[in-house]
Structure 1
Amino acid sequence: MKNGKILLVGRPNVGKSTFVNNLIGQKVAITSPKPQTTRFPIRAFYQDERGEIIFIDTPGIFGKVKDYLAKKINRNTLQTLNEDVDLVIYMIDHTRRRD
């Protein structure tokens, strides 16, 4: 059986958790319009006769961090980047204006 790991990263509220839920076909990650809903990486598994894919849904990466929670979330996400993965997907929200 073949398998692979896909890491999803991006700013808060770009749709990483929604993307994973839609791919898996069930709600494995909480979604909310409020930033910092995902605070720790969440692993979701997809399996069929061809193999298994592990999706790692990470908390959003904050550009400028001032509060403790945002710093901790950034640290958790950066630690996840050290994992052995096959693909990193950086998600963006094309409707959001660049600052």
Structure 2
Amino acid sequence: MVDRYLPRMPPDADSIAQSFGLRLMGTLASSGMARLATMNSGESMFELSPGDPYAVSVRKLAEHILGHAAGSGKRTLSLLKRWLFLRQEA
């Protein structure tokens, strides 16, 4: 995963994926102002701006990763999965 504040500056996501010889599965939405507000407030973006495009795209990425992990037959919960379950219970 590559995180960038300036999505229009080179290199773009396709170039980064190609340079590592990887298939680009997707990109995260940019949301500089919401991310800045989150950092300044010290609150989670999922609580402060749950409908923000960046928060939504991170949530979709996590669900995608967890979906693939669930299909692998692993019985242990990853840190990401435990975090998501804790977030849903709160």
The verdict on a shared fold, with TM-score over 0.5 as the criterion, is no
TM-score scaled to structure 2, two decimals? 0.29
Instruction: Identify the structure with the greater helix proportion.
Output: 2
Structure possessing the higher relative contact order (Cα contacts under 8 Å, 6 or more residues apart): 1
| Greater share of residues in strand | 1
Instruction: Name the TM-score, length of structure 1 as normaliser.
Output: 0.27
